[in-house]
Structure formats: structure tokens, C-alpha cells
Copies of this chain bind each other. A is one copy, B any other.
Amino acid sequence: MNVRTLCLAILYFGDATGYEIKKMSVEGRYAHFVDASFGSIYPALAKLEADGCLTVREEPQPGKPARKIYSITEAGRQQFIEALHEPPGPDVFRSAFLMVSMCADLLPRERVAQAVDERLADLSAEIEHLKQVAETTESAGVAWSVRYGITCLTASRDYLAATREDLEAIAVDPAGEPPGDTVAAE
């Protein structure tokens, strides 16, 4: 999924400015597709408008640059539906935490514990966020997706909370050998 399609997706469900699209792609319920920056969104919107997929309406604001509110056109809707029909690539999960847990035996216990705390906090925050989305959405598809997300994230959080002791026990003893020495003895 590229920024172009993301813009189409967001605008399918309502008008928005580039600034709002950025926010939604980072914090909102569109956060699991591509996290686009201004440097990619503004050019994408301009291109989309030139292609006839969007229309703009400018709303002047005293002292600020005018808000450029984009609306999707029929051509834009069609392009999005087409994109939805394309075979989706496999889901991608990239985790720096996983690298820490795989290498727990190379790290001091406190470092591993810290990584677990952070991951647990991230997980809880995301679950809370999804619960808020669940309360505000009217779309059945979004509601199903949110329940799915909450289920997966909760399973992850619960397992991590229940087994963190096992993971932390793998880490090197802070009083024992300094990190690296155990394996470095080749």
C-alpha cells in the first residue's frame, strides 16, 4: 500500500486536508497501512487532483495558509475499489522487541526488563486507542477490524505479562559476566 492509495482510502470516508490525513495515518485508525509524512502526502494529493481523482476547495484562514479540503471524485472511488481488488501482499510484522528477546542472553537483565515494560506500555496504549475507535465508528467493517485488533493485541499483552519472568531469567546475570563474553569465547 502506497501513500496514494492511503489518501484515497481516507478520503473515501470523508473530506480532509493534507494535515488531517497525516494525523490519521499516524494516530488514527489508518495507522496500520503506511505512516506517511507531509513530504509524501502533499505531492500525492496534488498528483491525485491532477489525475481527476480528487477535487479541492480552499478555505481561507486569516494569518494561516488556506486549508485545502480535498473530496474524492467518482474516478477516485473507482480507483480505490480497484486497489482493494488487487491481491494484497502478506501482512508484515517488524519488531525490534523481538530482536531483543531473541538475544536476551546477550543483554543485562535490566535492559530486557526495560524492553518488556516499553512493549507492554505500547500494547496497552494501542488497545485503549482501539477501544475508543470502537465507540465512535459507524462502519461495520471498521468495528469488526477493531475487535480483531483488540483480540490479537490482548493475547500478545497477556502472554508477555505472564511469561516475562522466563524471558528476564535468560538475560545475563548483572553480577556475573559482562555482556558479550559468554558467546564471544569461540
Contact = CB atoms under 8 A, between A and B. Distances in A.
Interface string A157-178: 0011001001100100000000
Copies of this protein in the complex: 2
B97 A88 contact: yes
Nearest to A147: B163
A88 B115 CA distance: 8
Interface size band for A: 35 or more
Contacts of A184: 74, 77
Majority DSSP secondary structure for residues of A touching B? helix
A102 B142 CA distance: 4
Contacts of A179: 81
20 contacts: A1-B96, A9-B103, A12-B103, A33-B94, A33-B95, A77-B183, A84-B99, A84-B107, A87-B118, A91-B122, A93-B93, A101-B148, A102-B145, A104-B140, A104-B141, A104-B144, A144-B170, A148-B156, A151-B156, A151-B159
